[in-house]
Amino acid sequence: MAELIRLDNISKSFGEQEVLDELSLTVYENEFVTLLGPSGCGKTTTLRIIGGFETPDKGRVYFDGQDITDLPPNQRHLNTVFQNYALFPHMNVGENIAFGLKVSGKSDQYIKDKVKYALNLVNLKGFENRQITELSGGQQQRIAMARAIVNEPRVLLLDEPLGALDLKLRQEMQYELVRLKKELGITFIYVTHDQEEALTMSDKVVVMNNGYIQQEGTPEQIYNEPENAFVADFIGDSNIVPGRMIKDKLVEIKGTEFPCIDGSAEGFEPGQPVDVVIRPEDIEIRPYGEGLFNGEIISKIFIGVHYEMLVKSEKGNFEWLLQNYDEHHVGQKIGMYVRPENIQIMKKPEFDDEKAMELDL
């Protein structure tokens, strides 16, 4: 894929608060890239710098090989869909969608055809004369999308556009956005703090915290191979425990030896302290005494399709989070087993700048 957008050592502060610290990122043509992270991590500021709504204190922004750092938003080949949609309440649907085209001086027939095309694309055919106040939240979100699409941008920037919708509608719109991206063949850069949205829609997820990029990769890479404790804790549920490497592919956790065959379990010194990530769905329940370690279930809740349990380990005084489709009871003593391929090893941060990138766990 061809490089389309490149952020080169971007730094940005507001007063004494540093929001971005020498951030670099490359976005390729036709990618669906999601900037994911907690509030205040710098993801929206990054999006606004790409869109031209903020100017970096340091660093440059490149679009298709050209430096656009100082270009205003209306001279960039991109459009933005904001969380509040920013629709004009005194205009009907057709007028809202046509606004940018009229400003550009397009002909009436061209505008009419484009509005009809955009409404068909977002499954709102025949809504041209509706008033904005007559629309549901999901319909308003689609109109905001249509208004952005109609200008034929090469890049669509989306700043938490689904945040105001209820869960069912938000899930429906996730599939709609993926469909639109495929049909339009344009690049999407999407900002959210919702892990499910990021994992569902993205070609590439960029996990951010404290103005740094923690990790970037496919949804599968981010979930299955987190590079540090912040990513492991932020993306889904995790058991993150301190461990000690006995040798390559063998780690000791809370007094129990665990074989591990992932590539992350190589290159450590014997006895080196590490952080170990085990996802709760990867802990298998076995009869008591027949696993790698034993414990007692101390709490249980039902979450739709599975049970979530806390199990107090007999060794190391640690509480493990488990997810299992079968029902077990509080007070039951069980054995637990983890397959070697489901154990992820991470080095502990050694320097202050590495520690600053992680969440205090």
Boundary-marking domain end, from 224, 244, 259: 224
Give residue 86's domain range. 3-224
Cite the beta strand spans of 218-317 per DSSP E: 239-247, 250-253, 256-259, 273-278, 283-286, 293-303, 306-313
Boundary-marking domain end, from 224, 240, 259: 224
- How confident is the model over 273-315, as pLDDT tens digits? 999 999 999 999 999 999 999 999 999 999 888 999 999 999 8
pTM of the model: 0.84
Give yes or no: residues 214 and 249 share one domain: no
Give yes or no: residues 269 and 202 share one domain: no
Which residues does residue 217 pair with via DSSP β-bridges, in sequence order?
Answer: 205
Token pair for 97: 């969608």
Give yes or no: residues 256 and 162 share one domain: no
Give yes or no: residues 88 and 115 share one domain: yes
Give yes or no: residues 219 and 288 share one domain: no
Give yes or no: residues 157 and 31 share one domain: yes
Q: Residue 245 sits in a domain of what CATH number?
A: 2.40.50.140
Q: Which residue has the tokens 């790409």?
A: 50
Give yes or no: residues 60 and 137 share one domain: yes
Residue 64 lies inside a defined structural domain of this protein: yes
Contact at 8 Å (CB) between 215 and 277? no
Task: Provide the domain count of the chain.
Answer: 2
Residue 70 lies inside a defined structural domain of this protein: yes
Residue 213 lies inside a defined structural domain of this protein: yes
Give yes or no: residues 138 and 269 share one domain: no
Give yes or no: residues 117 and 215 share one domain: yes
Give yes or no: residues 193 and 278 share one domain: no
Contact at 8 Å (CB) between 173 and 141? yes
Give yes or no: residues 327 and 216 share one domain: no
Helix (H), strand (E) at residue 137: helix 137-149
Residue 218 lies inside a defined structural domain of this protein: yes
What pLDDT score was predicted for residue 138? 82
Cite the beta strand spans of 55-133 per DSSP E: 58-63, 66-67, 78-81
Residue 104 lies inside a defined structural domain of this protein: yes
Q: Residue 59 sits in a domain of what CATH number?
A: 3.40.50.300
Give yes or no: residues 75 and 214 share one domain: yes
Residue 361 lies inside a defined structural domain of this protein: no
What pLDDT score was predicted for residue 349? 67
Helix (H), strand (E) at residue 103: helix 93-103
Helix (H), strand (E) at residue 354: helix 352-356
Taking the CA atoms of 320, 324, 330 and 331 in sequence, report the sign of the dihedral they define.
Answer: negative
What pLDDT score was predicted for residue 356? 43
Residue 117 lies inside a defined structural domain of this protein: yes
Show the low-confidence residues of the chain (pLDDT under 70): 164, 349-361
Boundary-marking domain end, from 200, 224, 248: 224
